[in-house]
Amino acid sequence: MRLFAYGELCKPAVLVELIGRVPLAEPALLHGYRRELDRGTGYYLAIPRDGASIAGLLLDGLGAAELLVLDRYEDVAGGEYQRRELEVELLISGSREPAFVYVGSPW
Q: Are 3 and 100 in contact (CB under 8 A)?
A: yes
29-78 pLDDT, tens digit each: 999 999 998 887 788 899 999 999 999 999 999 999 999 999 999 887 67
Query: How does DSSP assign 24-37, residue by residue?
Result: EEEEEEEEEEEEEE
Question: Class assignment of domain 3-104?
Answer: alpha beta
Percent of the chain with pLDDT over 70: 96
Residue in 99, 56, 102 with CA at minimum distance from that of residue 75: 102
Cβ 29 vs Cβ 53: under 8 Å: yes
Other CB atoms within a 10 A radius of the CB of residue 97 amount to 14
Domain positions in the chain are 3-104
| pTM given for the model | 0.92
Q: What angle do CA 52, 34, 1 make, to 5 degrees?
A: 105
